[in-house]
Amino acid sequence: MTGVDGTQLIVSPHLDDAALSAGAWIAELASAGTEIHVLTLFAGFPADNDLSPVARDFHDRCGLPHNGTAFEIRRGEDAAALTILGAHAHHADFHDAIYRRRPDRAWHCTHGQAMFDTSLPAEPNLRSSLEAAIETRCHRLRPTRILTCAGIGHHVDHRATRDAALSVAGRLGIAAETWEDLPYAAEATAERPDVAGTPIVRAPAPESWSRKYAAIASYTSQVRMLWPQGQDWVEALNEHALAHDADGAGELYWTIEQE
């Protein structure tokens, strides 16, 4: 294949989401000469090491320490993974929902499934800050397309990322697409995107899939957390990819019509 015209900006919620959901297509584009930058928004850590019970449990399941070294490890995993895919890594310092507090100082996530609750209190200041970070990166990189998550699974950080990225794309007149959020979308109860778009299944070459799976394997902490029983995660992801009825394994995207 040939690359697409112009720089592509991938806006990812967390340090693994881009590779999990769009890794094969990123690898395919990069191998064809397209310049790709991945901006991960929620890649920061509380300076005071103040962790909620939910965050402590998350760190334990990932095999990570309860301090800032955890994100040195995670950012290192991300840099290694994106190097395999052929993309440039950029890390913003916003805090994952499990590290955030509400104005009354209560934890934003009070139990292990709270981040999927669509009735969580709004965070308007977060939205504007996310948009500012994305817009700043757009002015520097001049991308011709923004690719971000669709928010399937309703994780609050995924929804915030999607809304901010699409808002910036619309305001700056940049083409936009969303990806199918994995592994959430592989679950039988997964819902369709909240933001309407035209679906497109892309079927990258086998070499690109190999690079995707090698990249995912670089996220040692996240593989341990997502598949704690040692499941064959490559088989699970590949089975889902083959179900898209593409010409081989496929990744699902939606092209967003700008108003």
**CATH number, position 35:** 3.40.50.10320
Mean pLDDT of the chain: 94
- Sort 117 into a burial class: Cβ within 10 Å, 0-12 / 13-18 / 19+: middle
Q: How many CB atoms lie within 10 A of CB 114?
A: 17
* 114, part of any domain: yes
Task: Please report the sign of the dihedral spanned by the C-alpha atoms of residue 33, residue 258, residue 150, residue 197.
Answer: negative
Which of these, 9, 28, 15, 10, lies nearest to 209 by C-alpha position? 28
Determine, yes or no, domain membership for 190.
Answer: yes
Predicted confidence (pLDDT) at residue 1 exceeds the cutoff of 60: no
Is pTM beyond 0.85 here? yes
Helices (H), 142-201: 156-172
Strand 251-256 and strand 198-202: the pairing is antiparallel
Q: Is 59 inside a domain boundary?
A: yes
pLDDT above 60 (res 2): no
- The answer as to whether 210 is a domain residue is yes
Please name every residue paired with 89 in a beta bridge, in sequence order, or none if there are none.
38
Is 3 contained in some domain? no
Which pLDDT value is given to residue 207? Answer: 97
Residue 140 lies in a domain: yes
- pLDDT (tens digit, 9 = 90+) per residue, 135-159? 999 999 999 999 999 999 999 999 9
pLDDT computed for residue 5 by the predictor? 73
Domain count, the chain: 1
User: End-to-end CA distance of the chain, in Å?
Assistant: 31
Domain carrying residue 223: 8-256
2 part of a folded domain: no
Query: Which amino acid is located at 248 in the chain?
Result: G
